[in-house]
Amino acid sequence: MIRFILALTLISVSLSAFADEPIPKELTPEQKAAALRAAETIGFAIYRHDRAAAIASDAAIALPQFKNDSRIRGWVTEEQQGQITVTFIDETPAALYRITVSKEGVAGPVSALDSPAPLTTYEAGAAAARSAALSSRFQQCSNSYNSVVLPSSGAPGSNWLVYLLPGTTKNNVVPIGGTYRVEVSGSKVVSQRGFTRSCIALQTDPKAVGLMISHVMDPAPTEAHVFWSIWARKPMYVAIPSNGTVWLVAGNKIELIEQKATEG
């Protein structure tokens, strides 16, 4: 009961704080259901690929040659049969190292290539999309950014979704502000959106039961809320001022927990 009261209080504050914000277009029940399922699926995929890159980096940095390799310019990831292959690339781009991370988050052997190798068709497309997204103009909320590249249709092709994720070195901060989704066709940016209007960072605490945030850009939580909730290992309560709703994002599940009563 306490958490619901807190969420409702957040709504009342947000309604006045964001009175001048444009109201996001409300969705039909069918559209909202589809949007929520997509947010759950994509948010979890972003987390899995981001986690795989972190695990692969930790495994690779144990190699002196990797740690001192100035050729590395980033990485791309590809899911294959539940596992995610992380390929570290140079500026060409070409492959330098490959590591496969299991579904359980266990890194396999580090494959250090004798010389830079051509990327696969998928890797080349992902690398081009990543480069285009990172070169696009966006408000940076961190000195460092990680990226996750996913095929926009769920299958390899020329259209990609690149998620730009602010980095942090603070364990008690969730840097949700400055998270972007960039849609790329080939190597051309065709659309870009942020998930916040400021560089908001949520403070977390081991004793806290969850995180809370007000969201004014959509009529329901997004894949960004799912990703950061999983990343922080905390449930996230998302208040939507435009329709008076409060949602619980827990893991890769989104649930409506409060809705303002309609008049009449």
Residue 126 lies in a domain: no
Query: φ, ψ for residue 62 (rounded to 5)?
Result: -70, -15
Q: How do residues 204-227 score in pLDDT, each as one tens digit?
A: 888 888 999 999 999 999 999 999
Phi and psi torsions of 253, nearest 5°: -125, 135
| Domain containing residue 254 | 1-21+206-264
The mean pLDDT value for 230-253 works out to: 96
Whether 156 is in a domain gets the answer no
**What's the CA gap between 150 and 125, in Å, rounded?**
10
The verdict on residue 242 lying in a domain is yes
Does residue 236 belong to any structural domain of this protein? yes
Over range 48-55, report the average pLDDT. 98
Enclosing H/E stretch for 101: strand 95-101
Provide the pLDDT confidence category of residue 173 given band limits of 50, 70 and 90: very high
Domain count, the chain: 1
Sign of CA dihedral 199, 175, 253, 157: positive
Answer whether the bond into residue 235 is a cis peptide, omega within 30°: no
Q: What is the C-alpha to C-alpha distance for residues 258 and 241, in angstroms, rounded to an integer?
A: 12
Task: Tell me whether residue 239 is in a domain.
Answer: yes
Question: What are 104's two structure tokens?
Answer: 């359980």
pLDDT tens string 117-156:
999 999 999 999 999 999 999 999 999 999 999 999 756 6
What is the DSSP code string of 31-88? HHHHHHHHHHHHHHHHHHHHHHHHHHHHHHTTSHHHHT-TT--EEEEEEETTEEEEEE
| Residue 203 or 8, more confident | 203
Residue 88 is assigned to a structural domain of this protein: no
Across-strand partners of 149? 162
Q: Is residue 142 part of a domain?
A: no
Q: Is 9:214 a contact under the CB 8 Å cutoff?
A: no
Please give the model's pTM, rounded to 2 decimal places: 0.89
pLDDT recorded at residue 76: 98
Would you say residue 253 lies in a domain? yes
Mean pLDDT of all residues in 52-69? 96
